Amino acid sequence: MTRRFDLKKIMMDNLVLVVIFLLVIITAIVEPNFMSEANMTNLMRQFGPLSLVSLGMTFVIIGGFIDLSVAGIISLVAVVTVALIDPLGQVNALLIGVALGAGLGLINSILLLTCGAMTQAEALFITFGMSSVYSALALIITDGATLHMTWLTTPQTIFETIGSGTVGVLSVSFIIFLVCLAILYVFQGETHAGRSISYTGGNKVAAILSGIPVKRSMVIIYTISGFMAAVGSVVLFSRVTTAAPIIGRGFETNAILSVVVGGTSLKGGKGSVLRTVLGVLLVTLLSNCMNLLGVPPYMQVVLRGAVLVLAIWLDNRKEL
Amino acid sequence: MANDNIILSIKDVHKSFPGVKALDNVSLEVRAGSVHGIVGENGAGKSTLMKILSGVYEKDSGTVAFDGQTVERTTPVESLNRGLSIIYQEFNLVNTMSVGENIFLGRFKEMGGMRGTHAKARELLDSIGSTIDTHRFVEELSAAEKQMVEITKALSFNSKLIIMDEPSSSLTSDELKRLFQIIHDLKQRGVSIIYISHKLDEIFELCDIVTIMRDGHMIDTKPVSEVTRNEMITKMVGRDIENEFPPRAHCAGETILKVSSIKTRKLHDISFELKKGEILGLVGLVGAGRTEIIRAICGADKVKGHAVSIGGKPVKIKNPASAKRMGIGLVPEDRKLQGLVLPFSVQSNIAMASLDRISRLGFINRAEEKAIALRQINNLSIKTPSPMTKAVSLSGGNQQKCIMGRWLEINPSILILDEPTRGIDVGAKYEIYVLMKQIVENGGSIIMISSELPEVLNMSNRVLTICEGRITGEFNPEDVPAQTIMDAAIG
């Protein structure tokens, strides 16, 4: 083995890091504003909700499934939580909101199991359908209007802290992210349930025949995904202080994009939450850089699609 | 065009995969109009060589010339059009399309639409003496019929060379005779055949020339008339093998498993018993219902109304997980699709069934996981560079041992082996037989399904013949001639 080959392998294995590095350098040179404190804060804010949703999505994809319903869950959790702050108080509203997310994820998994849907394609359509249901419920509840937290009469200190508080140099939302990451990282690598999810995604038939609880794994992954979408939702509406019934729109594609760009295989089995963090970083940076460099919005969508296709292409090349 | 008689010439071909040298300096010449056998253990490089010829893999170095033309890089479609067809063990047909459509897949226009397609397909099928209706769907066909369709498809490309990879693995002896007849006819027409098989009898009966491969090397190429069976085996495994089977174990004790009246659409009132320390063989044709029986026992398929008791106590087995808790292990028939998680490490594949045991409060004890893997790698002498090597890069025999090790680790009282030696070489087969013997000697019981009659008859203490979903006989293979058992299995 030659040294050049090694270098190539290292580059390929850490391609996301290399791309992030190049993106940062190029943008910093072309647009010095990139390194400004304002932009860094901006980046961190964008990173928060998407990273939380993507962490949950990682488990769905490692398990060999997909979850398009997170967009609907984010919207529904946001409007329900904000609507409940006045009548029930902020603590209860928060708890109910987060439990609602987990519950909606649970409903997804029960639906999948009832339909006998064991493939990614079936999951795609069922969760797509459920996303419409959840989004529609959000619209029905608010009658299509946006809820503003400034209209509320009771204290909302928890949400203010989540939205704009800091501990030292770190924002509270970033600390929430770090805590979730640490827990999910340990969950994935060290627990029975985490390993069962990997086996499920790696080879469902073999997992069933070896007595791995595949159905339970399906329940767990969708519940985690719903829960993380709810956490992401809380961080999101706390920052913008409004809960629009369409607030979650686009999160499902961006989360899937982040997970796949990070290197978790859509085929299931392989991947990690750490990779997803890099994926989210790249996706967030990409849109930030494109904004700074003046790329037109429609062109940004094209480029984002291209990145997703590129990531899947690279993943398939690695197998050869 | 130096030599018109050579249809395929391979020179100094090398191919490496990460960590494995799959082909090392391989050279081979196939004479036009000959039947050329290739034998070798699993992992000898036969499949790799075939995949390079068809264009699935790219060779690292060396030259390949087909029909007088040097072939550099190629694709499966290009090699088909050049006149080189490969018929894989698992077939390459579209189940939901008709026979005629499969034969001319993607060429309907050239054939003059559907009518022309079916007419030409009929013509080709007639030419090999097959009466399969071209309008039938492939999913309804038996393995033998599918093979006919594959051969016809190869002929439709005017193939000059047809490579058959383990063509006999799912055929009955009558069907095999038909296949041999067809191969003879093809040879008369000037078509060359490469015949890959583990079954030496077939090589002797059919082939003109045989090439023996081992560990990615060409060991020898000789006219079949100049080589003996023992010589061939010795060259394949690189050592002498005295017996193909270990001496039969005799440990059968009291009844451990009792199954009564399994009824499904395919199975009719299946009842039988298994004794402790016994190897029970299920004999029957592919599709007779053997696999369905064991899947019903393990709870892999939903079956109602049957009764199972283990050690005298009636039990309810809902799914494979509850079967596992009751000490039943299943080594499924297709190790790649049903057994292994191919992209995962040998270690996590072996520890898969023991996940519950090595977890405390939901957390996995990694040290224990590793210990399990190392123990089974040692016990079964699984050849792997490390426990962290991916299962996909192991040879067939070692992959099978991983799945065996997975179940041995839970110490099953009943181990069910579905085609435990399919596609495995002579050496690894023997190791699996010895392992089976050890299991029953240690008080375990085995139900074994196999399409290879000699294997079931030499390993089992008792044999049940299955035909069209019914048990048609019970025999002691030590007392009854093989022919009687085969007759009962064919029905």
pLDDT of residue B50: 86
Instruction: Enumerate residues 6+ apart whose C-beta is below 8 A from A215.
Output: A113
Instruction: Enumerate residues 6+ apart whose C-beta is below 8 A from B72.
Output: none
Would the pLDDT of A1 be above 50? no
Would the pLDDT of B127 be above 50? yes
Structure tokens at A14: 């850490």
What's the whole-number average pLDDT of chain B?
87
**Cα angle at B333 between B90 and B88, to 5 degrees?**
10
Distance of CA B206 to the CA centre of its chain: 20
Evaluate the CA torsion angle B247, B250, B251, B256 in order and state its sign: positive
Structure tokens at B272: 């039988």
Closest by Cα among B167, B412, B112 to B276: B412
Who wins on pLDDT, B411 or B88?
B411
pLDDT of residue A52: 97
Would the pLDDT of B2 be above 50? no
Would the pLDDT of B241 be above 70? no
- Average pLDDT on A221-246 reads 96
Q: Which of B298, B355, B365 to mutate to test the interface with A (most CBs of A within 10 A)?
A: B355
Per-residue model confidence as pLDDT tens digits over A148-195? 998 888 889 999 999 888 888 888 999 999 999 999 999 999 999 999
Closest by Cα among A306, A318, A295 to A27: A295
Q: Do the bridges between strand B307-310 and strand B255-262 make them parallel or antiparallel, or are there none, so unpaired?
A: antiparallel
List CB contacts (< 8 A) between A208 and chain B. Answer: 300, 319-320
Total residue count of chain A as it appears in this document: 320
- Average pLDDT on B210-225 reads 88
Give the separation between CA B469 and CA B486, rounded to whole angstroms. Answer: 16
Domains of chain B, first to last? 6-237 (3.40.50.300), 255-490 (3.40.50.300)
pLDDT of residue A320: 44
Per-residue model confidence as pLDDT tens digits over B64-113? 988 888 888 788 888 888 888 888 877 888 888 999 999 998 888 888 88
Please report which confidence band the pLDDT of residue B139 belongs to, taking 50, 70 and 90 as the band edges: confident
pLDDT of residue A263: 87
pLDDT of residue B1: 37
Please report which confidence band the pLDDT of residue B4 belongs to, taking 50, 70 and 90 as the band edges: low
Q: Which residues of B touch A (CB under 8 A)?
A: 298, 300, 319-321, 323-325, 330, 332, 337-344, 348, 352-353, 355-356, 359, 362-364, 366, 406
Q: What is the DSSP string of B115-180?
A: HHHHHHHHHHHHHTT----TTSBGGGS-HHHHHHHHHHHHHHTT-SEEEEESTTTT--HHHHHHHH
Give the separation between CA B225 and CA B34, rounded to whole angstroms. Answer: 14
Please report which confidence band the pLDDT of residue B242 belongs to, taking 50, 70 and 90 as the band edges: low
Q: Is A208 on the interface with B (CB under 8 A)?
A: yes
pLDDT above 70 coverage of chain A, percent: 97
Q: Which residue on chain A is closest to B332 by alpha carbon? A: A209
Closest by Cα among A211, A200, A184, A176 to A109: A200
Q: How many CB atoms lie within 10 A of CB B444?
A: 24
Task: Give the three-state DSSP class for A128.
Answer: helix
163-202 of A, contacting B, C-beta below 8 A: 190-193, 195-196, 198-199, 202
Give the separation between CA A224 and CA B169, rounded to whole angstroms. Answer: 46
The ipTM of this complex is: 0.86
Alpha helices of B258-365 — where are they, by DSSP H?
290-298, 320-325, 346-350
Closest by Cα among B102, B26, B90, B95 to B57: B26
DSSP, res B248: P
Please report which confidence band the pLDDT of residue A5 belongs to, taking 50, 70 and 90 as the band edges: low
Q: How many CB atoms lie within 10 A of CB B335?
A: 24
Please report which confidence band the pLDDT of residue A106 belongs to, taking 50, 70 and 90 as the band edges: very high
List CB contacts (< 8 A) between B362 and chain A. Answer: 191-193
Would the pLDDT of A297 be above 60? yes
- Average pLDDT on A212-222 reads 96
- pTM over 0.95? The answer is no
Please report which confidence band the pLDDT of residue A294 belongs to, taking 50, 70 and 90 as the band edges: confident
pLDDT of residue B435: 92
